[in-house]
Structure 1
Amino acid sequence: MSGEIKRIDLIKKMAVFQDFSWSSAVRDEGDNVVEFKKINIFYGRNYSGKTTLSRIFRAMETGSISDKYTSPEFQLSFDDETNVTQKSLNGHDQVIRVFNEDFVKENLRFIVDDQHTINSFAILGEDNAKLEKEIKQHEIDLGSEEDKSGLIGKMLEAVENHRLATKKHSERSSGLEGKLRDKANKTGTGIKHNKTFGDANYNLPKIKEDIKTVTANSYTPITFEQVDKYHELLKEESKEKIPESTAFNLKNSTFVTRAKELVEKKIQAADPIQELLNDAVLEAWVRNGREHHKNKRTKCAFCGSDLPADLWEKLDKHFNQESEDLRIAIEALLTSIDVEKSRIPNLLKIKSSDFYSNFSSDLETLGKQFSAQSTAYCKTLESIKEQLEKRKSDIFTPLIFDDPTSVEQELNAVRDFYEELRNESNQFRASLSAQQSEARAALRLHEVFTFITDIKYADECKAIEALKKAMDKAEKAKSTAKAEVDTKKAKISELKAQLKDESKGADRVNDYLNNYFGHPFLSLKAIEDTSDDTSTGYRFEVTRNNKKAFHLSEGECGLIAFCYFMAKLDDVETKGSQPIIWIDDPISSLDANHIFFVYSLINAEIVKPKNYKQLFISTHNLDFLKYLKRISNDYKGKGENKVKIREFFLIERNGNSSCLSLMPCYLKRYVTEFNYLFHQIYKSATTESINDKNYKDFYSFGNNARKFFEIYLYYKYPNQGMNAETLSYFFGDEKVPAILTDRINNEYSHLAGVFERGSTPIEVPEMTTTANFILQKIREKDLDQYSALLKSIGVKDEEPQTAVEGQ
């Protein structure tokens, strides 16, 4: 249910309101935005836009706006945070009643054309006490917004509970939403700006989708090792295809077979020399020496003795061809084994840089395996060599060959492992882009998972869901309470319909005309409408001395129109509804007495009985404004929440555009100009020094003092007004004050005869002294008036400063 209107947020393209913004224009001295109060008074000169404002409110009453406006825009805000615009005129549930020229044209066509009548309206009749009693009881049950009683009070409480529940839910939801939004795209920290796994289009809906993913039972969080792995993967750039490695072609098996054959081969010397057979070292020495001497020397190179003639024949028989062939075969095999050993380290070149980083662990394992199996393979070859060397050293003695454990298969398996990794790396190269996309997605989901864990997302959702249930419950209670209010109102309307009496509407208008304005000869008459057989209503007719009136004066038209509006506030559609009321300049063409009576009627029938929710009154008349300042200035609320229920506004037109603002203090504070002038003299008397804030008080002092004396002395000496003689009467025998005052009134007011006065600074001490003289004399001559003047400017009665002669 809409509450009071807080402000008119904006008005565009509506007559003189071209581009008005409340938040920019309606601010107090502390630059705070001011809002409407319960009672709101507007002052504006003719053509400043008062009626335009009233038409905005009337549009909310009637549900339509004049088609004479071209593309008008406006928005009003209520204190329950709802608003109404030109497109949603029915977006409120308040009863609004507006008095302006449009109301007059619509309801009192007689005023425009005396061939027409005045629309009738029904007020509650007075003949059915039982129904009235029943209606009264229903109205008590219904209660009111003012005292928050009955069903309305229950509904207001439900509305407030729903508002608070909605606020709590909104704040908690907005808080979580803000965290998600920041995580999604806040500059610097948001996922959107993460160069590793971010998405340039990442936003709030996307993070919500990711949250659904990571909170599903199917999601498994990745480990820190996987996180590191994915980060490394994202650093990868496409590598060249790795070529196939060369087959090892290991010869271990061949070496074993051949070595066994040579080591175990049996040979026999033709005529062996036993001594050599018994000493293998000696035999080796002889064999080597044989190569150095045969066919080369006749003497021993060691001892110098002559070599025996049959030496070579004996040695040839010992070292026969078979033994030499075996020796040569062993040496050849040893050379082959050495060649094999030398190529083992270079069998497999493992370059980590050729592979992607996700293969680093496997490559490390591969390297260790290759190193271990290469070493084992070399040890096998060394075992074969040792046995060959041993047989070589004792060529005539066969040995049993010790077959070493073969690692040839294991070493080839290392190459197979390498080939697997190589093929995988080459395949990975083809799918790198897809895998990096998967890595980015995995890292992003990991980031989201970590984030919702940190903020306790699940707990937040549970809390918000609980608040949502509370809000729904409060909304249901609000709907129930509203339905009860609507049902009760419908019942009251049904009963009131049985009491409709349109003839009484005219009587109510006549009561106002006679009792408030003293017009016994001018009245409204309810005439039964017999224009057709089906008509059962009435029409109103203006009469003068019981005859239909013609040629009404403008003032008479205004009085009838306003009394008609006031009476219509008691019709069956309005009475008891606490309407929002706008009264636009109701005193046009009225004299001073009638202006006072209009004020009295508003105060007595609307303000004092509190038959309204909000009241808005606009005027161009300063006398009427003076009376409006007397309207209730009560407070509502308690303690820090205590606020006044009345506010004053000014409507000003500048060229072709108007603006609404707070009413200046000088216009709002003073009942008459006389009070204002007295206040200016008082401020000049009590100010010790001139500064940037108060210099205007002194520059205006001459004019203010002259105008004050013109008013004061005119009423004190109506036969003379203000002149040198009456100034002397006022100040008595003290000539200095009279002379000073006369000088200030003339030289400082309008430079009478002293043009050079305008080229010199204002003399503050002289003015302060004169201002104190004036206050002191008023106090001496009329203490009651002095006290009343002080009270009118908000100052407690006090003794003015004593002027020192010569100052």
Structure 2
Amino acid sequence: MIKKFKSINNLAVFQNFDWDSTMRDSGNNVVLFKLINIFYGRNYSGKTTLSRIVRALETGNLSDKYENPEFEVSITDVADGTPTNLTAHGKKIRVFNEDFVKANLRFIVNPDESIAPFAIIGGNATIEAEIQALKNELGVKENPEEEIDATGFYLELKNASLRATTALQAYQTANNSLNDQLRYKATNNPNGIKYKSDKFGDQNYNITKLLSDVKTVSDTSFQPLTDQEVTAKLNLLNESTNANIPEIEKPTFDLNTLNRKAKELVTKSISNSNKIEQLLKDAILNRWVKEGRQLHKDKLEKCSFCGNDISQERWNALESHFDEESEKLEKEIDSLISETENSIRKIETILVIDKNLFYSKFHSDLDTLIEEREQAIDVLKSDLNTIKEKLVERKDDLLNSKSYNDVTDNSKLLEDCWKKYETFRTEANEYSSSLETEQTKAKKLLRLREVSDFTTDIQFSTVKARVQSLKDTSDAETQSKNDVEEKIKRQIAQIEAKERLMNDEEKGAIKVNEYLNNFFGHDFLTLQALEDTDEFGGKKIKFEIVRNGNKAHHLSEGESSLIAFCYFMAKLEDVETKGSKPIIWIDDPISSLDSNHIFFVYSLINAEIFTSQEYEQIFISTHNLDFLKYLKRLPSALNKNHCNYFLISRENEISKITLMPRYLKDYVTEFNFLFHQIYQCSIAETDDENQHNLYYNFGNNTRKFLEAFLYYKYPNTIKQVDKLTKFFGNNRQASIMTDRINNEFSHLEGLFERSMTPIDIPEMKKTAEFILDKIKEKDNEQYEALLSSIGIEIQDEE
């Protein structure tokens, strides 16, 4: 069964809807769907959106028109239904909504289309008898909610499942108990072997390694340490040893590439054509002019130094002098200077030696090595600074190439230091190895002695044999259960195979016509099954709507609604559905129907679904109060244990699901609703911004309520204002205020300027109190009945 719409987001009018925070009863308990679920909501409130979620669980597809839709549908004993997990529930679901109509009755939308045919089981006494015999042998499933006991193969499966469950629980209990003991010994903090690595030698010890050790100590050839040997091994462990010294990455310093790039830039020539000769000869003057050009260009027309005009010819000469080639060279030099500076900083981090990692016997050699490493770094830094100086020199005199002496690549000095370090590191680690090896062996032998004592204490061999015996029994019972399940599958396959022999599409059309004629009296409008051939010459059936012997066109909305719903009801008898007890969702089936046809739709649902009890769960939604009234006559519809009522409401662009108010669930009249609105207005806080709708609707609600109330109170032909005066008696203030509100606040025609001013809230609240006080004064018994109809107890009201 579907338990709830756990959450809905980004789906039409539903945004951030959370069931558990919204759907709670008076005791603050989360309300769930029941066997029967009835929804009421006005048009465009979101009823069809809910049906589309459930239809997606039926078809496995959700409209791609929704952007990033999210929902979770909780279903008993299976994973939640979500947009990425639509059909894993395994439930048989049938949904009637406008999408069902569009998918199956395309004729209603496009007269040139036909109606999707379906087959129901036809008549064949011999096969029917065989099917019934197979079904009797198969039996029925247990259903505690409907007090149905399992029979046949299903009873056999129930008993086999019980035995398998009992055997599995016995095995799991014994196995879990043994595993808990093993886990405690292996990884319990602080007593487990894992947390005594100083004694037993394995910081990553776990239950898998423990089982391996158990296997070792269980071998007949294993001899554990004696107590004297244990003492000797513990003494050995007290001797300390250094940890292995990790490798240092081999230095890779490419000075040659840096030298080559610098030489290319420093010695590179720049064309002297169009250059200012005076600036070529004086690098300082050239740099001064370059900076001045950048300060004046597009900013100043006169020279800031001498105050003279800068002619266009002078600008042209400067542009030719400081051309793109020189600017590009300058950028390349700046980039290589930055790279050189980075190398100078980086070299300090290469081959950092920590002599504290070594035994003290190595410290003297390491001090010498550290000094050699620092000397090598100084040499390399000097080489790098030489390259940088050459680059800076060329940048300062950019237009004139410079001589460049190659820098010797001394990076091998650093590599030699690394080789020496690796020699010392290897010797230090080897120095530890003999001590460490003996200690490692000692720890392993101590651990095996601990494991040996443990297996003796818990009688591991005996317990393990018992667990294995229980597992064998559980496997055998599970296999027996699987055999019965397989037998049920084969039986169902035989039934379905024989039912396919009786498939008859024409009887599908006959069933639709039966509903049209018997329930609605539409014998002039029928559904016909027409035989045709497909492109391969095979038999092909299609349905057409016929009126008076001819294909029907221009169906009214009411006729379309009747045919669509009758088609859906008949399809519940098709070979894919009949006998499967589906979850049924019927979305507003009475669109465009008059009151007689609304009653007939209710009768069809009652007779064909509820009487036969061929459903697991049913949902019906409507916008029509008359239909809602009829739905309450359905079997178990007033049983609180079997049926729930829900209200779908929309405020602006957001919809939500709530429990149906009592006045709407128990009394389906507008009169009760109007009284409830007046009562809420009388008790509302005037400064509560969430109650503004009560005041803006008060004029209409009060006028309509008093028209009905006073008509039955004073059924003679006196005017409404006279009825108000008579009703309120000596309270002239109440009758005048009520008459004003009825006329000014329930109409804008002739009083359009009233819509330009805000509502007088205290006046509304006072009038509501006048009305209620007068009803209570004149007929307290009726007043109490009205309060009860909207779920207000007398003591609560007082």
- The answer for the alignment partner of 1:123 in structure 2 is 120
- Pairing partner for 2:140 from 134, 139, 144: 144
- The answer for the alignment partner of 1:283 in structure 2 is none
The answer on whether the counterparts of 2:525 and 2:547 sit within 8 Å (CA) in structure 1 is yes
- Pairing partner for 1:549 from 549, 552, 571: 552
Q: What per-residue deviation string (whole Å, max 9, x for no partner) do you get for residues 25-64 of structure 1?
A: 6555555544432223344555555444434433443445
Matches within 5 A, 1:410-559: 431-437=434-440, 465=468, 468-469=471-472, 471-529=474-532, 534-559=537-562
Matches within 5 A, 1:590-739: 590-633=593-636, 644-651=641-648, 663=660, 668=665, 670-675=667-672, 708-717=705-714, 723=720, 725-726=722-723, 735=729
Matches within 5 A, 1:255-274: none
Separation of aligned partners in 1, 2:92 and 2:107: 26
How far off is 1:586 after superposition?
Answer: 2.2
Opposite residue 494 of structure 2, the aligned amino acid is K
- The answer for the alignment partner of 1:41 in structure 2 is 38
- The answer for the alignment partner of 2:417 in structure 1 is none
Q: What per-residue deviation string (whole Å, max 9, x for no partner) do you get for residues 65-97 of structure 1?
A: 555566766555542345555555553443322
- Pairing partner for 1:109 from 106, 111, 120: 106
- The alignment status of 1:210 with 2:210, answered yes or no, reads yes
Q: What per-residue deviation string (whole Å, max 9, x for no partner) do you get for residues 473-501 of structure 1?
A: 44334323333333333333333333333
How far off is 1:609 after superposition?
Answer: 1.9
Local SS of the residue matching 1:479: helix
How far off is 1:576 after superposition?
Answer: 1.7
The answer on whether the counterparts of 1:747 and 1:757 sit within 8 Å (CA) in structure 2 is no
- The answer for the alignment partner of 1:580 in structure 2 is 583
Note closer, same or farther for the CA distance 1:708–1:71 as it changes in structure 2 (3 Å cut).
closer
Separation of aligned partners in 2, 1:142 and 1:224: 68
Q: What per-residue deviation string (whole Å, max 9, x for no partner) do you get for residues 211-230 of structure 1?
A: 44236414777788877777
Local SS of the residue matching 1:519: coil
- Pairing partner for 1:776 from 777, 780, 785: 780
- The answer for the alignment partner of 1:135 in structure 2 is 131
- Pairing partner for 2:88 from 78, 88, 91: 91
- Pairing partner for 1:57 from 46, 54, 57: 54
The answer on whether the counterparts of 2:186 and 2:194 sit within 8 Å (CA) in structure 1 is yes
Local SS of the residue matching 1:529: strand
Q: What per-residue deviation string (whole Å, max 9, x for no partner) do you get for residues 329-381 of structure 1?
A: xxxxxxxxxxxxxxxxxxxxxxxxxxxxxxxxxxxxxxxxxxxxxxxxxxxxx
Q: What per-residue deviation string (whole Å, max 9, x for no partner) do you get for residues 768-807 of structure 1?
A: 865643552538xxxxxx87x68856899x9999x9xxxx
Using the TM superposition, name which of 57-66 and 575-584 deviates more: 57-66
- Percent identical among aligned pairs is 44
Structure 1 unaligned residues grouped into runs of 5+? 240-426, 637-642, 780-785
Note closer, same or farther for the CA distance 1:724–1:22 as it changes in structure 2 (3 Å cut).
closer
Say which one has the larger Rg.
1
Opposite residue 112 of structure 2, the aligned amino acid is Q
Matches within 5 A, 1:20-419: 26-28=23-25, 32-44=29-41, 46=43, 49-66=46-63, 76-82=73-79, 86=83, 89-126=86-123, 128-145=124-141, 146=143, 147-150=148-151, 151-156=153-158, 158-159=160-161, 162=164, 202=204, 206-214=206-214, 216-218=217-219, 236-238=239-241
Using the TM superposition, name which of 473-482 and 739-748 deviates more: 739-748
Separation of aligned partners in 1, 2:518 and 2:17: 42
Opposite residue 119 of structure 2, the aligned amino acid is A
How far off is 1:671 after superposition?
Answer: 2.7
- The alignment status of 1:758 with 2:762, answered yes or no, reads yes
Note closer, same or farther for the CA distance 1:200–1:609 as it changes in structure 2 (3 Å cut).
farther
The answer on whether the counterparts of 1:500 and 1:572 sit within 8 Å (CA) in structure 2 is yes
The answer on whether the counterparts of 2:182 and 2:210 sit within 8 Å (CA) in structure 1 is no
The answer on whether the counterparts of 1:710 and 1:722 sit within 8 Å (CA) in structure 2 is no
- The answer for the alignment partner of 1:252 in structure 2 is none
Opposite residue 209 of structure 1, the aligned amino acid is K
How far off is 1:565 after superposition?
Answer: 0.6
Normalising by the residue count of structure 1, what TM-score does the alignment of the two structures yield?
0.58
Opposite residue 619 of structure 2, the aligned amino acid is F
Separation of aligned partners in 2, 1:762 and 1:159: 68
Normalising by the residue count of structure 2, what TM-score does the alignment of the two structures yield?
0.58
Separation of aligned partners in 1, 2:3 and 2:770: 49
Opposite residue 782 of structure 2, the aligned amino acid is I
How far off is 1:630 after superposition?
Answer: 4.2
How far off is 1:556 after superposition?
Answer: 2.0
- The answer for the alignment partner of 2:397 in structure 1 is none
How far off is 1:611 after superposition?
Answer: 1.0
Q: What per-residue deviation string (whole Å, max 9, x for no partner) do you get for residues 543-583 of structure 1?
A: 22332111112232222111101011112222222122222
Separation of aligned partners in 1, 2:561 and 2:201: 71
Local SS of the residue matching 1:618: strand
Opposite residue 762 of structure 2, the aligned amino acid is G
Opposite residue 538 of structure 1, the aligned amino acid is I
Opposite residue 139 of structure 1, the aligned amino acid is K
Opposite residue 111 of structure 2, the aligned amino acid is D
Q: What per-residue deviation string (whole Å, max 9, x for no partner) do you get for residues 436-476 of structure 1?
A: 54565567667777888888877876676566445434433
- The answer for the alignment partner of 1:362 in structure 2 is none
Separation of aligned partners in 2, 1:518 and 1:544: 14
The answer on whether the counterparts of 1:99 and 1:583 sit within 8 Å (CA) in structure 2 is yes
- The answer for the alignment partner of 1:304 in structure 2 is none
Separation of aligned partners in 2, 1:453 and 1:725: 103
The answer on whether the counterparts of 2:724 and 2:739 sit within 8 Å (CA) in structure 1 is no
Separation of aligned partners in 1, 2:767 and 2:707: 23
Note closer, same or farther for the CA distance 1:180–1:493 as it changes in structure 2 (3 Å cut).
same
Local SS of the residue matching 2:218: coil
Separation of aligned partners in 2, 1:442 and 1:137: 70
The answer on whether the counterparts of 2:200 and 2:446 sit within 8 Å (CA) in structure 1 is no
Separation of aligned partners in 2, 1:60 and 1:172: 41
Note closer, same or farther for the CA distance 1:547–1:634 as it changes in structure 2 (3 Å cut).
closer
Opposite residue 80 of structure 1, the aligned amino acid is D
How far off is 1:114 after superposition?
Answer: 0.9
- Pairing partner for 1:6 from 3, 7, 15: 3
Separation of aligned partners in 2, 1:441 and 1:490: 61
How far off is 1:505 after superposition?
Answer: 1.7
Local SS of the residue matching 2:481: helix
How far off is 1:100 after superposition?
Answer: 2.4
Separation of aligned partners in 1, 2:231 and 2:660: 69
How far off is 1:148 after superposition?
Answer: 3.5
Opposite residue 213 of structure 1, the aligned amino acid is D
Opposite residue 596 of structure 1, the aligned amino acid is F
Opposite residue 710 of structure 2, the aligned amino acid is L
Local SS of the residue matching 2:545: strand
